[in-house]
Amino acid sequence: MPVEPTSYQQFWRAPGIKTAVPIVATVLMGLVFVALSTIIVLAAIFAGGVPDEAALEALTQGSLSPTMVLANSISIALVLPMGFLVVRLMGQRPGYLSSVVGRFRWGFFFRCVGVTAAVFLVYSGISVLIDGVDSLGLGVRDYTWWLLIGLMLVTPFQAAAEEYLLRGFVLRTVGSWFAAPLTAALVGGLVNCLIFMGLHASTDLWLNLVYFSMGAVGTYLAWRTGGLEGAVAIHIVNNMIGMALLSFQDMEAQFDRAAGAGGPEVLLQIATTVAAGALILWVAKRQRIVTVGPPERVEPTAPAAPTAP
């Protein structure tokens, strides 16, 4: 554990944790992520029999079936418990991956969800007013209800898993290399944002800007609030809205991330994410959220009782 008050991104810069340990842990988590994704998605692909040539070609072009969408979300969600196990093997209590106080601060999290949902619903309303509801392409399809139920159950864990992997493992691994909290946040943030952007496999500049900005806001919140609650809240709200709509949309049209798929209109989405982050910081300040830890290195020790004469 750190021996002095320490920011979230530097929590693995501590006696007893060798420099190579966070690197090995993060690489291990990356391998777990790839293995789970490969196994579960392949199982979904072959569940209905051996796919024909047309199906395989569609897959290589990024087209996903409803079954594959749900399978992909499940595979990512399963990374979350593995992350806690790896942290335990590193010698730290798993709760310290959530925040510098050693636990997930549920009260703070639900307030973050509330303000984030309000901001994103306003953004969604503005988008519909600008583009029209027909632009969403909504309709009840043969997969709508089972996919909706499945995604609503899995998506919170899928979104949280991505935050724990990137704003948790990657940010802390890179952050442990630097003595200054600002440098640790900047370099660690750059690395995890680039990885987050790359995982979405988009060749569109505007879409990559969306992914990078979400990662940047999550990184800043982890630093300034001392934990992942705010970043997880934004990611969950964003994905829950998107996945709820996806269940009523044509799958083939929703995973186009090639150049030209995005445009300047995404700046409104980026502004929404930044606004949600700003409100979360306001909530954290009002709640006097602890931003450095561990608690025994921050809280003053009670004075010893006077001895009796």
pLDDT, one tens digit for every residue, the chain (309 residues): 877 899 999 999 988 889 899 999 999 999 999 999 999 988 888 876 666 565 566 566 666 789 989 999 999 999 999 999 999 999 889 999 999 999 999 999 999 999 999 999 999 999 999 888 888 889 999 999 999 999 999 999 999 999 999 999 999 999 999 999 999 999 999 999 999 999 998 999 999 999 999 999 999 999 999 999 999 999 999 999 999 999 999 877 677 788 888 899 999 999 999 999 999 999 999 999 999 988 776 655 444 445 444
CA 90 distance to own-chain centroid: 22
